Amino acid sequence: MLKAVLFDVDNTLIFFDEVKFIKSYIPLVARRFADLIPGDKFGEKLLSATMEMHRNDGSMTNRERFLNFFCQGIEQYRDEVWRRFEKFYDEEFDSLRDVVAVHNDNRSIFLALKEKNLKIVIATNPIWPLSAQMIRLSWAGIGDIGFDLVTHIDNMTFCKPQIGYYREILSMTGEKPEDCLMVGDDPANDMVVATIGMKTYLSIDSLDHVESPLELSKHMVGRNSDGIPPADFRGPLVKLPEAVNMLLQGKHSN
């Protein structure tokens, strides 16, 4: 019986060219660190630390992993570094709203799921603090919906596409994989959870919005989808409630 629906965010609920987004994001945040890190080195340092966060092994939070690598050479400023990141997300991150496009049906889809008393999990890669995740959800038009779990840099010790990430979600929600549906646009990052028995819905809306979705992430962590079963459902996000109804009725589709 379906009890929880997990949602990816990037190019599932909001659409953006990742490379263009990073080109806007990095100079904006780099200004906060001009006295600590040369401007021409900041981007490389940030992306390298983010890549290491993707390799986290469950032994520490993603924030700890990130700071361990980002603060190499400036270890004495570790606490200050994180305060500056937090201030940036509180004060400037929302200005990047213009770089993304939004799925027009998000709100009605989520409200329909809420009526079914299903747990709703935002299973987006936990590389941002909660404040940034909530801003991104506000861009998607659902920031005030209320979620049973939002994964973020402080409450997770793995990143996608590691199965450990999904196992952490299951542990936090108390659900079994066979009682959950993962919704996302990327076979390697999102559909991989089918390998532990979770139902999957491959959303295709990004194909109409983004020419090269998540190219930067794929370059950093790979795009291998070998051995991942085909999605149980595939289609635009607006068709998701139909798939949910089928699962609630004990039906199944490929």
The pLDDT, as a whole number, for residue 194 is 97
pLDDT digits (tens, 9 = 90+) for 141-175: 999 999 999 999 999 999 999 999 999 999 999 99
Is the model's pLDDT at 127 over the cut of 70? yes
Mean pLDDT score, 114-139: 97
Residue-level pLDDT at 214: 53
Q: Reply yes or no on whether the pLDDT at 210 is more than 60.
A: no
Q: Residue 6's beta-bridge partner residues? A: 121, 182
Query: Is 70 exceeded by the pLDDT of residue 254?
Result: no
Are 149 and 169 in contact, with CB atoms under 8 Å apart? yes
Between these two residues, 7 and 104, which has the higher pLDDT value? 7
- Over the stretch 172-202, which tens digit does the pLDDT of each residue have? 999 999 999 999 999 889 999 999 999 999 9
Neighbours of 157 (CB within 10 A): 19
Return the SS3 of 41: helix
**Model confidence at 18: pLDDT above 90:** no
Query: Distance from CA of residue 231 to its chain's centroid?
Result: 19
Return phi, psi of residue 120, to 5°: -120, 120
Average pLDDT, the chain: 92
The helix/strand/coil state of 132 is: helix
Is the bond preceding residue 236 a cis peptide, omega within 30 degrees?
no
Q: Are 217 and 233 in contact (CB under 8 A)?
A: no
Mean pLDDT of 117-140: 97
Indicate the pLDDT class of residue 227, thresholds 50, 70 and 90.
Answer: confident
CB atoms within 10 A of CB 158: 23
Give residue 232's pLDDT. Answer: 97
Enumerate the H helices of the chain as residue ranges. 18-30, 39-54, 62-70, 78-91, 106-114, 130-139, 163-173, 206-209, 215-221, 240-248
